[in-house]
A and B are shown apart, each in its own frame.
Chain A
Amino acid sequence: MINRRKLLRASAAGAAGLAAGPFVIRDLHAEDAVKIAGIHDTSGGLDIYGKQMVATLDLAVNEVNESGGLLGRKIQLINYDPQSNIQLYTQYATEAATKEKVAVVHGGITSASREAIRPLLKRFNTLYFYNTLYEGGVCDRNIFCTGSTPAQTVEKLVPYVQKKWGKKIYTIAADYNYGQITAKWVKKYAQDNGGEVVQTDFFPLDVTDFGPTVKKIQAAKPDLVMSALVGAAHISFYRQWAAAGMNKQIPLASTTFGNEIVITSPEEHNGYIVAFGYLEGIDTPANKKFVEIVHGKYGIPHMTELATMTYHGLHLWADAVKKANSLDRVKVIEALEGGASYDGPAGKTTIDAKTHHDILDVYIGEARDKKFVVLEKFAQQQPADTQAVCDLKKSPNENKQYVIDVKT
């Protein structure tokens, strides 16, 4: 008979076994594998992005390992889940850098998480790849930012939709640095193109009631709405916009409408125009194969720029290690600065030595029935926003994120 004490003892033993497991396995590889770390939120509010980033990182690591590994050694990927909690980011980054002594850390989703671990990884001399699209301005020789920044996407998107729909824009954006800066870029490019932004509204990330906004936009009568809304709560806007029938009246463009396409219905999102450094609908053999594997093997329903740039980021790093023929941080950084480039599902991405950001292809796409169809491609866009404030060639010891002042 199982009494309470026996049950306790048994479960304690079980727990101990579980805890001991990873260490045993780790030790088998400890000598020969190249350890790298991925820090992505696979639980909590950002898990929808984190899960696909972990999947593509795993895919890229497997590809490198299958084609012979790095310097004759296999890559061993250690994944950490900071649960959308900034404190855990610093804890795991410290663990990865000091206990595991990883060669590189890929990770961070929000800018807040990046700024939590970036100084820390610099202090521990651990190379860091941040693969998310963000507001731009990070200037630090130890980090490589492979995602797109507003100057790259907004510069193309605004003239495109103004030509298509009209000059008057109503901007709605998330109320934190990404939204604020993106709204400024929208205003700048709208004016440069002979148009205007009639109004800009910012919304804290937890706002779900957009009823008044839907009516305010109607009162302002813009030619189009530009959305830089972010996150789960803001999806309500698209629902309420469609519920009022406005998606048939005033067209909408966005720099952030990505995974939202999975959650909203075709009636709610058809016709929205977006610009990203990657769209799932890119019609190249490389991307089709990539999408097939990620959908099939990893069960990810929809791929975003974040996950694809994570994949590119790992390959950029692996190629640089091969080129440097060393895992030494400085040698790898120098190899990356020497025009490192990777051709993948997102097209060609090249590291800009001056800023450590990506020169990448920007795609304008339209939402059609839960998929983005590519309308136009702009090859090799420079990260002009970060380039305006950051020159790591001239001052390699910089270590900050500039708030880019957009002149409008």
Chain B
Amino acid sequence: MDYLVILLLQIGSAVASLVLMSIGLAVIFGMMRVINLAHGEFLMLGGYAAITAFNHGVNLWLAMVVVAPLAVGLFGAVVERLVIRHLYGRLIDTMLATWGLSLAMIGFVTVVFGNTVSGISAPLGSLSIGAYRTGAYEIFLIGVAVLLLVAGWLVLRFTRYGLIARGTMQNPAMAAALGTNPSAVYAVTFAVGSALSGLAGGLLAPLSGVVPTIGAAYIAKAFITVISGGAAILSGTAIAATLLGAINTLATFAFTSVLGEVALLVAAVVLLRLLPQGITGRFFRRAL
């Protein structure tokens, strides 16, 4: 019984970390069709922002939940104005530009912080479930992931900005004809997506630590989740993360962590073979 609970919690925490890793990418890719190859580095930057702020005496929660998203959101806004906005509709060019950006970010952060691991201890301590113990922080992350998805859904569904964003996403030309400014919508969306990445990077930092090259560990999983999820930003990401996270965790428990990763990748390959448009390309097509 305890074991079952702990297993479910572990699946929940794997799903939550996939959601956190990919939500920023999902927003940017889903709404703007911009493939941000520097996404992993945005997460990395969030981690460094949180750790640097914490080391300068900022409260840990403030550092992770406020400083990291603000810093990376601002950075994203600048990047959008300087680079991305010139490349809308040019998929390959954006990939090239953001890949270059990711290399530049790794280089820059290495120069500033050195190529060594920095980290902070996870707060909240631990709690026991029967004979087992788990980090309370992992459970907190599950809560944050759910909160982010719900908040995102509420914003898109019920606010004016959500309406404009959805309209622009479906048909930018028509949205423009109706008096919105797609350029402004894109700028805000990119900044919001970046801020979400920053938040995720800050929140994941206590668990995995940060090195300038940690983005590589995030980006593959983030892309797999978003692409498997398909067109619907939030439900797609949530469903894909749940599916892949569960498969990964179960295989890890049954076999080894290597086979867990393999199972995740195999599942993604099979999924995309059967549903080339992603899960929400076939099911829940009208979802957000």
A: residues with CB less than 8 A from B are: 43-45, 47-48, 175, 201-204, 206-216, 218-219, 232-233, 235-236, 239-240, 242-246, 249, 263-265, 267-268
Instruction: Kindly provide the distance from the CB of A30 to the nearest chain B CB, expressed in whole angstroms.
Output: 34
B114: interface (CB < 8 Å) = yes
Q: Kindly list chain B residues whose C-beta atoms are within 8 Å of the C-beta of A244.
A: 126, 133-135
Bound Cα distance A44, B10 (Å): 33
Contact status B257-A213, CB under 8 Å: yes
Contact (Cβ within 8 A) B249 A212 = yes
10 nearest interchain CB pairs? A245-B126, A243-B135, A208-B208, A243-B122, A212-B252, A232-B117, A244-B135, A245-B133, A236-B208, A244-B133
Say whether B92 faces chain A, with CB atoms less than 8 Å apart.
no
Question: Residues of B contacting A239 with CB < 8 Å?
Answer: 119, 121-122, 206-209
CA–CA, A147 and B42, complex, Å: 40
User: Contact between A201 and B125 (Cβ–Cβ < 8 Å)?
Assistant: no
Task: Assess the A207–B257 pair: CB atoms within 8 A.
Answer: yes
- Please give, as numbers and ranges, the residues of chain B lying within 8 Å of A175 by CB-CB distance: 258
Chain A's closest residue to B126 (CB) is A245
Contact indicator B121/A43 (Cβ below 8 Å): no
- Complex alpha-carbon distance, A209 and B200, angstroms: 15
Starting from the known contacts A209-B208, A239-B122, 10 additional A-B residue pairs (CB-CB under 8 Å) come to A43-B110, A175-B258, A211-B10, A215-B6, A239-B206, A240-B135, A243-B121, A243-B125, A244-B133, A245-B128
- Which residues from chain A contact B256 at a C-beta distance below 8 Å? 201-202
Chain B residues within an 8 Å CB radius of A245: 125-128, 133, 135
A203-B257, A216-B253, A243-B137 as given contacts; A211 in contact with B115, CB under 8 Å: no
Q: Given the complex of chains A and B, what is the CA–CA distance between A323 and B247 in angstroms? A: 64
Known: A201-B257, A203-B257, A236-B207. A215 touches B117 (CB 8 A): no
Kindly supply a per-residue 1/0 record for chain B positions 207-229, scoring 1 wherever the CB is within 8 Å of any chain A CB and 0 otherwise: 11101011011000000000000
A367–chain B nearest beta-carbon distance, Å: 15
Listed by A's residue number, 12 A-B pairs whose Cβ atoms lie within 8 Å are A48-B116, A201-B257, A214-B134, A215-B132, A215-B253, A236-B207, A236-B209, A239-B122, A239-B206, A243-B125, A246-B133, A263-B209
Task: Report A-chain residues with C-beta under 8 Å of the C-beta of B208.
Answer: 208-209, 233, 236, 239
> Are the C-beta atoms of A211 and B121 separated by less than 8 Å?
no
B10:A212 contact, CB within 8 angstroms? yes
Q: Mark B90-133, 1 if CB is under 8 A from A, else 0.
A: 00000000000000000000100011111101100111100111
Residue on A nearest B252 in the bound complex, by CB: A212
- B260 at interface by CB-CB < 8 Å: yes
B284 CB to nearest A CB, Å:
28
Residue of A nearest to B134 (CB): A244
A243-B126, A265-B121 are known contacts. Are A208 and B135 too (CB-CB below 8 A)? no
Given contacts A202-B258, A215-B10, A239-B209, contact A47 B217 (CB under 8 A): no
Least distance between B64 CB and chain A CB atoms (Å): 14
Q: How far is the CB of A300 from chain B (nearest CB, A)?
A: 13
- C-alpha gap A370/B127 in the complex (Å): 26
Pairwise interchain contact B119-A45, C-beta atoms closer than 8 A: no
Cβ of B13 within 8 Å of any chain A Cβ, yes or no, is yes
Q: Is B168 an interface residue (CB 8 A)?
A: no
A201 to B253, CA, bound (A): 11
Chain A CB count within 10 A is highest, among B132, B135, B217, for B135
B7 at the interface (CB under 8 A from A): yes
Q: Which of B116, B126, B256, B257 has the most CB of A within 10 A?
A: B257
* A84 to chain B: closest residue by CB: B115
A276, chain B: closest CB distance, angstroms: 20
Q: A263: which of B118, B214, B217, B253 is its contact (CB, 8 Å)?
A: B118
Residues of B within 8 A of A236 (CB): 207-209
Contacts of A216 in B (CB 8 A): 252-253
CA A344 – CA B22 in complex, angstroms? 52
